[in-house]
C-alpha cells in the first residue's frame, strides 16, 4: 500500500458519520442507476427483431478525422436526384451548401429553380417567388397527410437529423439502403410492402431506392449501390452535424494548449512546489522562565 493510499484512508477515518453516509448513499445510487440504464438499453437491443448492422469504416470516425467532403458533394447529388422525391431536409438552408456541396453561384441557381411561397403582399395575399440562399430547402409534400397519401400510408421521415435519431445512425442507414432482399419462406408482406431485415419487423413501406448506376456522378466516380449509399449517408452526417470538422479542429487546439499547460504545471511542481512540500520547519521555543 502506497503512502498516498494510506493517507487517504487515514483521512477518511476522521470523517463524520453523516459524511460517510452521504458518500456511501451516493455511490450506491450512482452504481445502481448505471446498472439499470445499462440493463434497459440491452433489453431494448435484445427486443429489436431487426438484423444487427455491420460496422463500416467511416472516414470521419476517428477523434481527429474529418468528413470526406468529396463524398458529401456526391451525397448531395444522390439526395437531390433520388431521395428528395419523398424525403425532406427541411432544416437545411441553401446557404449552408455553399463551400461544402456547391459554389455560391450553383447554390443560387439551385434555389432559384424552386418557387417559394412568401408574403403577404400589400393586398394581404400570399405569392410565389424564386428561391434565394436564405430559404430552407422545400419539402416534397405540403403536409404529413399528403405525404402519407402519396406513399400508401407510410410517412417518409425528414432526413436532416436522421443519423442522430437512429441507433448506430450511419451504419443503420447504410445497411437499410443496401439490405433489400426477397422475403424468406413463411414471411408474408402486405401490398406495397418490401422486405428489409434491418428494418424492425422486416416489412418496410419504402421500396429499394438505390441501384447500380442509378445516377451519374459529376466527378466520374462509379455510381455503384454501395457507393451511392456511402455518399448519401456521409451527406446526411454533415446535415446533422455541420460543425463536425470545426469541433474536431477546436479539440486539436484544446489538446495542444492543455499539453503546453501540463508542461508548465509539471515545471512548477518540480522546481517550486516540491521544494515547499518537502521542507522541514523546526521550532526551538525559548523557555518562558529563562531570563
Q: Which residues fall in the annotated binding site for heme c?
A: 83, 86-87, 206
Between CA 90 and CA 138 the distance in angstroms is 6
For 136, which DSSP code? Answer: B
Are 132 and 97 spatial neighbours (Cβ–Cβ below 8 Å)?
no
**Max CA pair span of the chain:** 113
Residue 165 grid coordinates: 435519431
| Contact residues for 136 (Cβ-Cβ < 8 A; gap 6+) | 90, 91, 92, 93, 94
Alpha helices, DSSP H only, in 48-128? Answer: 69-81, 104-112
What count of Cα atoms within 13 Å lies in the side-chain half-sphere of residue 278? 7
Contact 130, 138 (CB under 8 A): no
- Classify 116 as helix, strand or coil: strand
- What is the DSSP code string of 248-265? HHHHHHHHHHHHHHHHHH
As annotated, the binding site includes: 83, 86-87, 206
Cβ burial, residue 95 (10 Å; 0-12/13-18/19+): middle
Q: Go through the chain and tell me how many residues it has.
A: 291
Amino acid at each position: 500500500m502506497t503512502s498516498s493510499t494510506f493517507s487517504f484512508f487515514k483521512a477518511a477515518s476522521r470523517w463524520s458519520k453523516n459524511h460517510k453516509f452521504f458518500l456511501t448513499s451516493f455511490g450506491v445510487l450512482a452504481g445502481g442507476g448505471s446498472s439499470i440504464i445499462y440493463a434497459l438499453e440491452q433489453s431494448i437491443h435484445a427486443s429489436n427483431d431487426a438484423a444487427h448492422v455491420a460496422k463500416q469504416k467511416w472516414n470521419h470516425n476517428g477523434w481527429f478525422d474529418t468528413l470526406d467532403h468529396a463524398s458529401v458533394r456526391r451525397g448531395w447529388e444522390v439526395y437531390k436526384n433520388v431521395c428528395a422525391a419523398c424525403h425532406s431536409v427541411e432544416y437545411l438552408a441553401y446557404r449552408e451548401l455553399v463551400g461544402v456541396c456547391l459554389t455560391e453561384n450553383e447554390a443560387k441557381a439551385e434555389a432559384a429553380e424552386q418557387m417559394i411561397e412568401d408574403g403577404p403582399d400589400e393586398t394581404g395575399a400570399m405569392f410565389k417567388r424564386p428561391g434565394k440562399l436564405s430559404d430552407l430547402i422545400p419539402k416534397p409534400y405540403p403536409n404529413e397527410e399528403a405525404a402519407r397519401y402519396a406513399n400508401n400510408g407510410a410517412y417518409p421521415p425528414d432526413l436532416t437529423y436522421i443519423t442522430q435519431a437512429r441507433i448506430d445512425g450511419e451504419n443503420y442507414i447504410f445497411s437499410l439502403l443496401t439490405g433489400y432482399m426477397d422475403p424468406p419462406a413463411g414471411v408474408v408482406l402486405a401490398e406495397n410492402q418490401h422486405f428489409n431485415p434491418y428494418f424492425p419487423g422486416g416489412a418496410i413501406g419504402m421500396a429499394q431506392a438505390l441501384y447500380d448506376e442509378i445516377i451519374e456522378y459529376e466527378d466520374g466516380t462509379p455510381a455503384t449501390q454501395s457507393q451511392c449509399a456511402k455518399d448519401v449517408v456521409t451527406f446526411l452526417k454533415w446535415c446533422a452535424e455541420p460543425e463536425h470538422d470545426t469541433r474536431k479542429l477546436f479539440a486539436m487546439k484544446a489538446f495542444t494548449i492543455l499539453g503546453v499547460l501540463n508542461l508548465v504545471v509539471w515545471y512548477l511542481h518540480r522546481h517550486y512546489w516540491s521544494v515547499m512540500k518537502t521542507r522541514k520547519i523546526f521550532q526551538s521555543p525559548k523557555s518562558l522562565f529563562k531570563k
